[in-house]
């Protein structure tokens, strides 16, 4: 297993030995527009050359799309199946549930779900709201020196 590279927003390192595919895949989405491009180590000389080209392309493409350049997650258009951010009703197969999603202080996404069959519609929604509220509260109350 290779050691993980430094993480850059919108870049994914691809190392697939079987197909001899090594490089960086860049994906940018902003206001219903999607752009993607692959930067091969072979074409750009080495891993660092591909990374440099990928970062330059990412920055230029974001500028062309009007997307703000930041390392923080930026949401251009809000998509949800409910009126509340982070709460949605989901159906998987024959199972219905409410799912609560939030970000931790470290920027990791967390989620939990509550079965409608087990708790009932109103109670499952109430539990999802409470879980999201608790997750958000913990994020804002975490001291800056503590990392998850």
Structure tokens given for 111? 């989620």
Dist. CA 39–CA 25, nearest whole Å: 6
Domain ranges of the chain: 11-65, 87-141
The 10s digit of each residue's pLDDT in 122-135 is: 999 999 999 999 98
Comparing 1 with 20, which gets the higher pLDDT? 20
- pLDDT band with cut points at 50, 70 and 90 for residue 75: low
Task: Indicate the pTM of the whole model.
Answer: 0.50
Across the strands, what pairs with 25?
Answer: 12, 38
The average pLDDT across 62-90 equals 74
């Amino acid at each position: 297993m290779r050691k993980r590279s430094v993480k850059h927003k919108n870049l994914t390192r691809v190392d697939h030995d079987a197909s001899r595919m090594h490089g960086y895949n860049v994906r940018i989405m902003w206001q219903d527009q999607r752009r993607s491009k692959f930067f091969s180590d072979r074409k750009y000389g080495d891993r660092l050359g591909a990374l440099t080209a990928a970062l330059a392309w990412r920055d230029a493409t974001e500028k062309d799309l009007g997307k703000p350049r930041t390392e923080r997650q930026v949401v251009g258009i809000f998509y949800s199946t409910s009126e509340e951010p982070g709460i949605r009703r989901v159906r998987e197969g024959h199972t219905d549930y409410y799912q609560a999603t939030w970000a931790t202080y470290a920027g990791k996404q967390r989620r939990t779900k509550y079965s409608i069959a087990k708790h009932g519609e109103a109670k499952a929604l109430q539990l999802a709201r409470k879980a999201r509220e608790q997750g958000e509260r913990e994020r804002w109350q975490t001291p800056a020196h503590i990392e998850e």
